[in-house]
Chains A and B, each alone.
Chain A
Amino acid sequence: MYDIIIIGAGVIGAFVARSLSVYELKICVIDKHIDAAMGTSGANSGIIHAGYDAIPGSLKASLNIEGSRKMEKICSDLNIPYENCESLVVAFSDEEKKVLEQLMNKGKKGGIKGLSIINQEEIRRLEPNLNRDITWALLAKTAAIVSPYKMTINALENAANNGVEFLREYEVLEINKENDIFTIKTNKEKLRGKVIINCAGVFADEIAKMVGDKSFKIIPRSGEYIILDKSVGPLVNRVIFQTPTKEGKGVLITKTVDENILIGPDAKVISDKALHETHSDAIDYIYKKGLKITDKIPLHKSIATFTGVRATPDSGDFIIKESISCKHFINVAGMDSPGLSSAPAIGDYVLKLVTPMFLDITMKKNYTITLPTKKYFSNMTVNEKKEAIKENNQYGKIVCRCENVTEAEIVNAIHMTIGATTVDGIKRRTRAGMGRCQGGFCLPQVIDILSRELKIDKEKIQKGDDGSYILTRRTRV
């Protein structure tokens, strides 16, 4: 019997689990996928917004601003790649400048510091590659970028180190409630719990329906992206947005924490929430929209395209409250942008909703809110590299040539508390396979290491979820 069952191991589920994990509560996080961050949290822009977009007074506005303020400390505590790189919203006319002023005033009312409107000369100085017809820009000094999948995995790792269980490949089929106890029927065994927190992302409305809650609907909207190779260099140094229109924030260009360039997303309402598909017309569209920001995009340097699906709520704002139709069932839903930016604040917000549901709740004697500092080998100084290899010679073996990922890092990723069991799991934890050859060289070695460390046959090693096998059989001898 669990005190709390959290459904969904995305960034929201992970931060909710982390906030709750310091209390004497028996908690599990369940996910239908084989790993954390396999939905929206693994495929988005990775931007920590300053917080001027949302309507003042909304949950989106307040949680974004609070999340953004907490982010740097949390990323440092949890070893999450983070950079306070700032953002610009660019305008092409005085008309658009008015929109920038509205955004700035909205942000200032919300207490956001470091907002200013800058002129062409200043834009040129900060971002020399931007097009010349950009006349004004809103500079947000607090905007930042993170690795969204590392953020999810590391927050969940922290929760797991505090005793939270992570149950993978548990798909929720049915939820029943009797005498104040929930029973969740899954594809595996039944789980019983006192409180359910629904962090199921694009599927949150379907989970809520299982307890008779039809109060909201998630409208899945896909967004496609192009990633450019690191060798492109600093095409932009900040997150560059275009002036928002009725259709949304539009296509942006940003650098990532790993020094790639990311262009996207578009926005399209889709029918199949689970289908992460790219389309040539969408890729053409985001490229053309990206060219409005800078005409210097070297498309031939693309290394990957991907699609993420936003969990847009029909209500407009985040839905974070106990269900009106079911006691002790808390919806944490509708987490489209700025969901990532708000995640740490959402964790604490949910904590306040949950604690009154338990009598005599106490904090654990031993808990931690940090992870041991572990730098990527590629980011170590010379002396750190020398030391690392001396301590563990697997640091001397580079497996992923493009990203300089060592065998030690891959082995560590497998043996962490919520260890990687798949090739994509290794990729999200270490970046092996995320470089310009996209795993061409390291895939066979990553399979070798997974097979060796997990003691399973190579044919059983998967890219991701069950069914995504990579090898079918031995060759004829």
Chain B
Amino acid sequence: MKLIDLIIIGGGPAGLAAACQAKENGINNILLLERENVLGGILKQCIHNGFGLQYFQKELTGPEYANEFIEKIHKLKIPYKVNTMVLSIQPNKTIITSSKEEGYVVYQAKSIILAMGCRERPRGAIRIPGTNPSGILTAGTAQKFVNIDGYIPGETCVILGSGDIGLIMARRLTLEGVKVKAVCEFQPYPGGLSRNIEQCLIDYNIPLMLSHTVVAIHGKKRVTGVTIAKVDEHFNIIENSKQEIACDTLLLSVGLIPENELTSQMGIKMDQVTSGAMVNQTLETSIKGVFACGNVLHVHDLVDYVTMEGNRAANYATTYLNNSKNLMKKRITVIADKGIRYVMPQYIDIGEKNEKITIYFRSKEIYREKNTIVKCQKKIISRHKNLRLMPAEMEKILVKTEDISGDTIYVGVDTND
């Protein structure tokens, strides 16, 4: 069994950033594990531009963005293995892998960074009624068919969900001569970035139907059409608004779920809302020396933020490996309070030294001109004014550890002002 200081699981943007950063921090005995045949993760199939504006201050395509890191991996001579699937991780950080080339290989890690990314929600997760023909696929799968394999999955298409992948695919398929008849969005506001609404839908005259959903799928063998309907403000279907659209394909862009089989199998405490691990401010999970970053922890808005979190995870793993940790004196639980869907981290470990801690959060709905407040023992210890809070955008607020008393702090929207 090989002993490795730091094993990073997943060669997408989070894992790539973490590997490079850890190496630059002086950790030499690293291994990066990737199950696909090349590094890059989902960036490989995102051939559109718009990546890197935050992190590189320049606009890149997905493969270009990934390449910035892949080149660095090679330059820094960071060991990695592709076509290698992690089958399981034991709580003592034994990692079991399998590959065609090397068979069944077991590693012992001193520390682990989990960076497995996320997957798309399928039809069954939202239980769209109707028949079960071919022609129903998630936007990301369609993107893989088109951009990696070079095949078109259908000729006339309706897209459910206005997440960014759905919007990007509306444009991509249109450019390939596919008729995209509509993008339906359950919510009264779009799920993706405003620039994607402009550049992918409006520029191509693709109708965006807000407060609309698919209520039935038709066709015995291949999709022959879908019935869509408007929903009211309580998301109830308005019966007389039903209309059938003929199409041979339904693409779904209805949300992402962190891919945490390995995490939960190894007994790490999970957050039911994020579907990711519960972590402290050092991105450390409930198992010491096991860190999580990127979309496996919680779904991010931009890949740039994933990279930054990957870097942070590497820094904390380095601290852990160097035994230079700020010794924990007390654990504080961070609670998502009024108007907040989730917080990250879920715990703050207060040590000997004082720290300034950034708490990331998403709101449950849209708020305008509201304060976000952090309270402990009924006292407000931090306040931040937001012009606009919306679920699609991650926000943050700072707290100082010396201000915290008691063992719980609450992050909420101050709906009184």
Contact = CB atoms under 8 A, between A and B. Distances in A.
Interface of A: 226-227, 231, 274-280, 283, 300, 302-306, 382, 385-386, 389-390, 393-398, 401-402, 404, 407, 436-441, 443-444, 448, 458-459, 462-476
B152 A473 contact: yes
A398 B85 contact: yes
A463 B124 contact: no
Interface in B119-138: 119-120, 122-125, 127, 129-135, 137-138
A444 B141 contact: yes
B307 to A, nearest CB: 23
B220 A474 contact: no
Interface in B141-181: 141, 144-146, 148-155, 176-177
B127 A475 contact: no
B177 A476 contact: yes
A475 B133 contact: no
Contact residues of A: prevailing secondary structure:
mixed
B310 interface: no
A302 B133 CA distance: 19
Given A389-B104, A468-B222, A276 B122 contact: no
A396 B100 contact: yes
Contact of A275 (B96, B98, B131, B137): B131
B215 interface: yes
Nearest to A463: B134
Nearest to A388: B104
A358 B39 CA distance: 65
Nearest to B215: A280
A41 to B, nearest CB: 16
30 contacts: A231-B264, A277-B131, A283-B129, A304-B124, A305-B129, A385-B98, A393-B101, A395-B98, A396-B98, A396-B102, A396-B104, A397-B83, A398-B35, A401-B35, A407-B100, A436-B122, A440-B119, A440-B140, A441-B141, A444-B141, A444-B144, A444-B145, A444-B149, A458-B151, A465-B221, A467-B222, A468-B221, A470-B135, A472-B154, A472-B155
Contacts of A467: 221-222
B358 interface: no
A145 to B, nearest CB: 20
A32 to B, nearest CB: 13
Contacts of B35: 398, 401
A303 B122 contact: yes
A168 B144 CA distance: 32
Contacts of B127: 226, 278, 280, 283, 302, 305
A269 B313 CA distance: 57
Contact of A389 (B98, B125, B135, B148): B98
Nearest to B132: A276
A464 B104 contact: no
Contacts of A476: 176-177
A475 B152 contact: yes
B123 A438 contact: yes
Contact of B100 (A394, A404, A444): A394
Contacts of B122: 303-304, 436-440
Given A438-B124, A440-B141, A443-B141, A462 B152 contact: no
Contact of A280 (B119, B129, B153, B155): B129
Interface in B89-120: 96, 98-104, 119-120
A306 B132 contact: yes
B223 to A, nearest CB: 10
